[in-house]
Every structure is written in structure tokens, then in C-alpha cells.
Amino acid sequence: MKKYLPILLISLTSSLLSVFLYSRFDRSTRVVWENGEGEVRYTGLVDKLFSSRSNSSFQSSSPTNFIEAAEIVTPAVVNIRAVQETGNGGLWGNNTLTGSSGSGVILSPDGYIVTNHHVVERSSDIKVTLADKREYKAKLIGSDPSTDVTLIKIEESNLPFIVFGNSDSVRIGEWVLAVGNPFNLESTVTAGIISAKGRNINILGGGASIESFIQTDAAVNPGNSGGALVNTVGELIGINTAIITESGSYEGYSFAVPSNLVQKVIRDLREFGQVQRAYLGVSIQDLDSETAKEVGLPNAEGVYVNRVTSKGAAQDAGLKIGDVILGLNNTHVRSPSELQEYIGRFRPGDQVMLEYWRGSTKYKIRVTLKDINNSVAVARVQGNELEDDLGLELRDLSEEEQRKLRVQGVMVTSVRRGSVIYQTNMQPGFIISSVNGNRVTTAAEAVDAIKNAYNSLVLDGYYDGEPDLYSYRFKKEE
């Protein structure tokens, strides 16, 4: 017994010492919830050793809830089917009807709908199916290939609609929903996050195109083009437009036109029938690190000016080749696509405050933007836009003419001898009431509908004093 007594005493002493040290220095398993607000405090041996980090707290958050946003948005996303007429069988030859399908977003209770230009491009017939299965024939209000945005309208009231959000305020990593109505399968909703902003993927083509897409990983498949990209409170922050894919289906990247740009385009289309595009009057390129170092900038965030248009807005303001544009209206500009998007939100005659770098100094100047013809005037449809191609000039009907004739439409004021229109025997004084079956009430609507139609056209209408409907069929000259 005496042999084992020292061993027992040593064991007991060691155990008591261990318990004392553990209770004195380590409480790492203790979690304290305070005020029911999710604040957590962890304390333990590590906290004792690193006193500057003795308390670590965070605010917990519940999982993001998409239900409310989906309930707001899905009734206002529609299916769009467009019919295109193709072929080259001559004036009365055999043509082929093809169709395309996409989605659209109702923007107002009286039936204005935004979709992609490529969904309805060259269409002679546009049909809209609402989420509740009601079907309507849509009228083309205007289209802008440079942003891939089109505005159409159906005749209805009290429709559900989506309000615009601020696409500038969305942040990378933010949750979003992509909502479409493909192939009349009713609305489909997918979730993802903002992966990037200001993306240029070179799909629109043309020197005037504006590509500054919001990139997301929300699934967008064929048929969802023209659908809504919304934030978690159901505000429209983009119109889904494209995917990058090798298989033809979604592979992880989708792109949307920012809502702030969409809002400006549709406002122009509704008011003027065409987009009032403003230009800064420069050619620009990305700023690389080597050039940034040469001009004395600490980083390569900015846009390098490599050409200044003669008599353009930039030249008037004193901008020169080699300047680096840093910001616009107190908004930092990091890439050419961002600058193009910001400028694309303005009209000719608008003034912007431009921040740029020259030499080793930062400057600010006020620039009055111009159109492509270096004019500050807002361009309105004159009625002679079709004269060169078709030999046709138009004008709006006066209020007195509308009352007298009891018809809505557009007056043909002249037909050029030997033109395509002349060969149809159309006479000045003809009142165009529809283009390819789509009603037109202003010269802007008629010009836009004729320009956006494929090469086969049917102009229906009336002559003063004659009750019969006249139809003139022809093809645009190649």
C-alpha cells in the first residue's frame, strides 16, 4: 500500500492542477447570445494570448428569401412570339415565314413592354401572352439595335408591371433573380449573384453599339431573352440579353442590359420613336499599366483617349489625344464600356462634368454632348427619312384632319418618280394606317416600323373620300 500511495498523491495533484488551469484560462466552448439579435461572443485561451482580438462579434442574417420578389415579378413577365418573313421570290414570289420566341417585361399598367431587339427583329407580326394566358397582338413602338432594346405595346389596362431599380447601385456578390417566360411554359425563376459589371462581349456589332452588361450566374436559357433581372425586392435592374455558350444552352454566364440604360432608351422610343444618342466625340481604349505609369497614374483604372473627333463635343471642351478620362458626373470610370454606357444615358445638348488626367494633373471640365452629326439639337422624325431608299415622304395628320377623316394614320406627302413606292401606284394623299398589320398613328411610328421590317412590306390605308381599304405590297431594294 505504501508503494502505491505516492503515485495516487501525484495523480490527484495533477488532476486538480489541470482542472484549475482549464477553468482559469480556457472557456472556448462558451457562446453567449445577446439581445436576441444574433451577436455572438467567443472567449478562450487564444483570446488571452491575443488581447487585441479578445472579442469577436458578428451580426447573423437569415437566408435570403426570394419568394416575395418572385411573386411581384412573375405576373409582369410575358412571352413574346414574333413572325419573320424571309425569301427572295420577287414581288409576288414565295416567301418563308419563320418565328422567334422570347420574353418581355411589362413596364406600365397601360401595356408598354420592353424586350430585346433580336427577339422581334424584322418581324411582321408580334404576339404577347401574359402570365395568365391572355393573348394580344403587339404594336412596335421603336427599336434600338445598338443596345438590343425594343419597346412594344399592347392595348390593355390595369396590367401588373415592374418598377425600375438603380442598376448603378447593384454590387458584385449581390443576389438577383432572372425571370423569363419561354415557349409559353409560364414564368421561370432562377437565382444567382452579380458576377461582374461593365462587361463587353462584342455581340451587338456596329461602331455605335453600347455593351456594358451586368454579368450573373443565374441560369438564362433560350426563350428567356428579354426577361427581367431583378433584385431581391423585385426591382428591375436589367433586361436579360445573352449567354456565352458552346452547347447553345446555359453554361454559367448570362448578361443583362443595365436598367438605367434601358430606362433612357425606352423613354426616347416612347417620346420620339427613335433613340436620341449623345456622343462625346472621342475614340477610346483600355488603359494598361504601362501607359498608366507613363502618364503618372497610380493605377490603370481609366479610359485612354486615342482620337478626338473634329468639331465634336470633346474637342469643343478642350480634350486632347493622350488624356485619360477618370470620371463622369462624380462617377468613377474604369473601362471604355462603362464610359459608353454612362454617355449613352444622355441626349444631345445635355451637359456632363468630365474628370480627366493630363500630364501629372487632374482636371474637371463641363462638356456639352452632341449627336453623330455634331449637333446639339434633339433629332425628331422629319418625315423624309425614307425618301432616299423608298422615295416616300410622310407627315403626321393634324387634329383637324383626324376629326374630318375619322381615321388615325400618317399622310404620304410625296412619292418620287421611278422609286420603289412609285411602282406600286401609291399616290400622294394616301393615309397609311398600318405597316405589316401593325397600326401606326405618327410619322415616327411609321418610319420606325418600315425601317425595322424585313424587305417585304404591306402598307394599308385610305384615301380621303374613299371608303375602301387600299393595300400596297413591295420589297425594299437590296
Please indicate whether residue 225 is annotated as part of the active site.
yes
Please indicate whether residue 117 is annotated as part of the active site.
no
Question: Alpha-carbon distance 327 to 341, whole Å?
Answer: 13
The answer for residues whose C-beta is within 8 angstroms of residue 160's C-beta and 6 or more apart is 75, 76, 106, 109, 131
Q: Is 50 helix (H, G, I), strand (E, B) or coil?
A: coil
Question: Alpha-carbon distance 212 to 432, whole Å?
Answer: 38
Question: Alpha-carbon distance 459 to 444, whole Å?
Answer: 15
Residue 258, strand partner residues: 238
CA dihedral over 272, 114, 337, 208, signed as positive or negative: negative
Q: At residue 210, what are phi and psi to the nearest 5 degrees?
A: -120, 110
Residue 470, strand partner residues: 461
Query: Contact 376/367 with Cβ under 8 angstroms?
Result: no
For the purposes of burial, counting CB atoms within 10 Å of the CB of 53, is it exposed (0-12), middle (13-18) or buried (19 or more)?
exposed
Given the residues 47, 148, 268, 371, the one annotated as active site: 148
**DSSP string for residues in 221-276:** -TT-TT-EEE-TTS-EEEEEEEE--SSSS--S-EEEEEHHHHHHHHHHHHHHSS--
Please indicate whether residue 52 is annotated as part of the active site.
no
Question: Alpha-carbon distance 295 to 358, whole Å?
Answer: 7
Query: Contact 364/354 with Cβ under 8 angstroms?
Result: yes
Given the residues 101, 117, 118, 146, the one annotated as active site: 118
CA dihedral over 307, 308, 309, 310, signed as positive or negative: negative
CA dihedral over 184, 189, 192, 193, signed as positive or negative: positive
Given the residues 100, 143, 225, 433, the one annotated as active site: 225
Q: Which residues are catalytic?
A: 118, 148, 225
